């Protein structure tokens, strides 16, 4: 049975995620403590593990209070340990730690930050991508460069299509508007946006297959002609799209 997934809205537009199984409960990212602790209290759950994707405050600021209340073990990237809360377990890309009875794959998704990791739970078909691959978008390049992020997206895009992409923010409206501006003939994108606007369908989490069909940063080959970049490399097209999104 897949682990139960609970999405928690935090701060203005952040997501944190709880996973629940027979072996306990895990949290992916901790933007703030109050809504996460409230969810745990409401369900009568403890917390065993906290997995951190990257060092930005809107993903880690709740860790200290949550650990104090729950005693959870904190897992994060070795490369980012100097700017993360104290880690009990340090991991590197390629590692496969056990979390709630599942083998988790640690994936390097540097670009938004250097040292950013994603956590893939293949048995449950979840990937926690935070500010790398996002709903109809990708994270800004604060520390990395376009080639770094493009390679990171490629690693995520290699996962099975049914993988549920659990990103770190609700940027659905802004990402969707940009996607439509560069991919105006995409019927799958129009259908997805209609569901979001009608508040019928959340845009995150979504399957990787849905992202492949609607996310411009995974559709560089399809968008080359629209951008008049038929002879450009994938990285060059991606870089143009990212630059356009930054000023959109």
Listed by start position, the domains of the chain span: 4-246
pLDDT at residue 199 above 90?
A: no
Average pLDDT of the segment spanning 62-66: 98
Q: In the prediction, which pLDDT does 176 show? A: 92
pLDDT at residue 103 above 70?
A: yes
Superfamily of domain 4-246 in the CATH hierarchy? Ribonuclease Z/Hydroxyacylglutathione hydrolase-like (3.60.15.10)
Q: Which of the four pLDDT bands, split at 50, 70 and 90, describes residue 193?
A: confident
Please state the pTM of the whole predicted model. Answer: 0.95
Give CA separation, 13 vs 167, 171, 172, in Å: 11, 7, 10
Binding residue per annotation — 120?
no
Binding residue per annotation — 169?
yes
The CA angle 80-83-85, to the nearest 5 degrees, is 100
The percentage of the chain sitting over the pLDDT mark of 90, rounded to a whole number, equals: 90
Where do we find the tokens 């080959």? 221
Q: Sign of the C-alpha dihedral, residues 165, 166, 172, 177?
A: negative
Q: In the prediction, which pLDDT does 194 show? A: 83
Q: Which of the four pLDDT bands, split at 50, 70 and 90, describes residue 1?
A: confident
**Over the stretch 151-164, which tens digit does the pLDDT of each residue have?**
999 999 999 999 99
Cα–Cα distance, 110 to 92 (Å, whole number): 12
Binding residue per annotation — 82?
no
Average pLDDT of the segment spanning 20-45: 97
pLDDT at residue 88 above 80?
A: yes
Q: DSSP class of residue 83?
A: G
Q: In the prediction, which pLDDT does 200 show? A: 52
**Over the stretch 118-138, which tens digit does the pLDDT of each residue have?**
999 999 999 999 999 999 999
């Amino acid at each position: 049975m897949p682990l139960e997934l609970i999405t928690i809205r935090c701060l203005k537009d952040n997501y944190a995620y709880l996973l629940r199984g027979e072996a306990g409960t895990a949290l992916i990212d901790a933007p703030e403590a109050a809504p996460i602790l409230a969810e745990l209290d409401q369900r009568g759950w403890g917390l065993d593990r906290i997995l951190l994707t990257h060092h930005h405050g809107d993903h880690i600021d709740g860790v200290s209070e949550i650990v104090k209340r729950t005693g959870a073990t904190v897992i994060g990237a070795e490369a980012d340990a100097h700017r993360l809360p104290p880690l009990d377990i340090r991991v590197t890309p390629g590692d496969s730690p056990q979390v709630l009875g599942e083998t988790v794959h640690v994936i390097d998704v540097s670009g938004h930050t250097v040292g950013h990791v994603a956590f893939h739970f293949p048995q449950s078909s979840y990937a926690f991508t935070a500010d790398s691959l996002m709903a109809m978008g990708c994270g800004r390049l604060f520390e990395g460069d376009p080639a770094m992020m493009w390679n990171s997206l490629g690693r995520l895009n290699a996962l099975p299509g049914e993988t549920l992409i659990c990103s770190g923010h609700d940027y659905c409206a802004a990402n969707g508007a940009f996607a439509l501006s560069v991919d105006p003939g995409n019927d799958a994108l129009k259908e997805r946006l209609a569901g979001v606007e009608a508040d019928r369908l959340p845009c995150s989490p979504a399957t990787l297959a849905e992202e492949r069909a609607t996310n411009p940063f995974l559709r560089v080959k399809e968008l080359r002609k629209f951008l008049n970049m038929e002879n450009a490399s994938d990285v060059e097209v991606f870089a143009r799209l990212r630059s356009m999104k930054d000023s959109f």
